[in-house]
Structure 1
Amino acid sequence: MTSVAQASSTENVITLRGSTDVVTDFFYYAVNSVLYQRGVYHPDGFAREAKYGITTLVTTDEALKKYLDNVIKQLKEWLLEKELQRLVLVIVGTDSGDTLERWTFNVHKEERPALKDGSNAGDQQPRKSQKAITQEIQNVIRQITSSVTFLPLLDEPCSFDLLVYTGNDATVPSGWDDSDPRCIKDSSEVSLRSFSTKIHKVDTVVSYKNKTDEELC
Structure 2
Amino acid sequence: MATSTQNAITLKGSAAIVTEYLNYGINSILFQRGIYPPEQFTSVQQYGLTILMSTDEKIIAFLQKVLGQVQEWLGRNEVEKISMEITNVHTKEVLERWDFKVHNEPPVNGETKMDPNNPVSSKELKKIQAEIRDVMRQIAATISYLPLIEYICTFDVLIHTVKGCEVPEKWKETDEVGIQNVQTVQLKSFSTGLQKIDTIVNYKMTD
TM-score (norm 2): 0.91
**Secondary structure of 1:176's aligned partner:** coil
The residue that corresponds to 2:197 in the other structure is 202
Q: Which runs of at least 4 in structure 1 moved beyond 6 Å after TM superposition?
A: none
| Greater mean alpha carbon deviation, residues 90-99 or residues 138-147 | 90-99
Cα displacement string for residues 135-182 of structure 1 (whole angstroms, at most 9, x for unaligned residues): 100011111111110100111111111110001121110221111201
The residue that corresponds to 1:55 in the other structure is 50
The residue that corresponds to 1:122 in the other structure is 114
Is 1:91 the counterpart of 2:83? The answer is: no
- In the TM superposition, residue 211 of structure 1 has moved relative to its aligned partner by 6.1
From 149, 153, 156, give the equivalent of 1:158: 153
- In the TM superposition, residue 25 of structure 1 has moved relative to its aligned partner by 0.2
Is 1:17 the counterpart of 2:12? The answer is: yes
Q: 1:201 to 1:113 in 2, by over 3 A?
A: closer
TM-score (norm 1): 0.87
- In the TM superposition, residue 113 of structure 1 has moved relative to its aligned partner by 6.7
Larger Cα-atom Rg:
1
Cα displacement string for residues 49-73 of structure 1 (whole angstroms, at most 9, x for unaligned residues): 1111111111111111011000111
Q: 1:150 to 1:11 in 2, by over 3 A?
A: farther
Looking at structure 1, the residues matched to 76 and 13 of structure 2 have their Cα atoms a distance apart, in angstroms, of 14
Is 1:109 the counterpart of 2:104? The answer is: yes
Is 1:44 the counterpart of 2:43? The answer is: no
Contact 2:108 2:193 in 1 (8 A): no
| Greater mean alpha carbon deviation, residues 90-99 or residues 157-166 | 90-99
Looking at structure 1, the residues matched to 10 and 167 of structure 2 have their Cα atoms a distance apart, in angstroms, of 25
Is 1:170 the counterpart of 2:165? The answer is: yes
**Which one has a larger percent helix, Structure 1 or Structure 2?**
1
- In the TM superposition, residue 131 of structure 1 has moved relative to its aligned partner by 1.0
- In the TM superposition, residue 12 of structure 1 has moved relative to its aligned partner by 2.3
| Greater mean alpha carbon deviation, residues 72-81 or residues 198-207 | 72-81
Task: Report the residue type matching 1:44 in the other structure.
Answer: E
Looking at structure 1, the residues matched to 133 and 196 of structure 2 have their Cα atoms a distance apart, in angstroms, of 15
Identity of aligned residues (%): 39
**Secondary structure of 1:88's aligned partner:** strand
From 58, 65, 71, give the equivalent of 2:66: 71
- In the TM superposition, residue 110 of structure 1 has moved relative to its aligned partner by 0.2
Task: Report the residue type matching 1:168 in the other structure.
Answer: K
Q: 1:95 to 1:10 in 2, by over 3 A?
A: closer
Contact 2:81 2:159 in 1 (8 A): yes
Contact 2:80 2:162 in 1 (8 A): yes
| Greater mean alpha carbon deviation, residues 200-209 or residues 167-176 | 167-176
Please list every run of 5 or more consecutive structure 2 residues that lacks an aligned counterpart in the other structure: none
Please list every run of 5 or more consecutive structure 1 residues that lacks an aligned counterpart in the other structure: 1-8, 213-217
